[in-house]
Amino acid sequence: MKNLIKKIILGSVLILLMSACSEEQQNKFSRLGVTWLEGNYKVTFATGQHEKTWFIYNSKVTAEPAKGYYYFWATIDGKKRYVQTPIERSYIEQIGD
């Protein structure tokens, strides 16, 4: 019960802090938050007519904002491959199991 109350308080504080930030600052925070979440994700890189999508299962997507990239391990053709994609042209969606 104490952990639940702590999580609620922490979540409330984060929401208050986020509401006082500009949209750009909120985007930076959300990118950093992805670093710590493990789960299932769909990562899409899109620029002009080109679009590439990867599915990540039971893993995480890590942000490197100073360098401007997301990186992650994706299964491509049955092999684990390291993928690095620009933050500004990439979209991350959390997907179900």
3-39 tens-digit pLDDT:
777 777 776 666 656 566 677 776 666 666 555 567 8
- Look at residue 31 in the predicted model and tell me its pLDDT: 61
pLDDT tens, residue by residue, 29-44? 666 655 556 788 999 9
pLDDT tens, residue by residue, 41-95? 999 999 989 999 999 888 888 888 778 889 999 988 999 999 999 999 999 988 8
> Which ranges in 1-97 belong to alpha helices (H)?
2-19, 23-34
Provide the b/e sequence for 19-47 (b: ≥16 CB within 10 Å).
eeeeeeeeeeeebeebeeeeeebebebee
Query: Domain range spanning residue 51?
Result: 2-94
Domain tally for the chain?
1
Which DSSP state fits 88? G
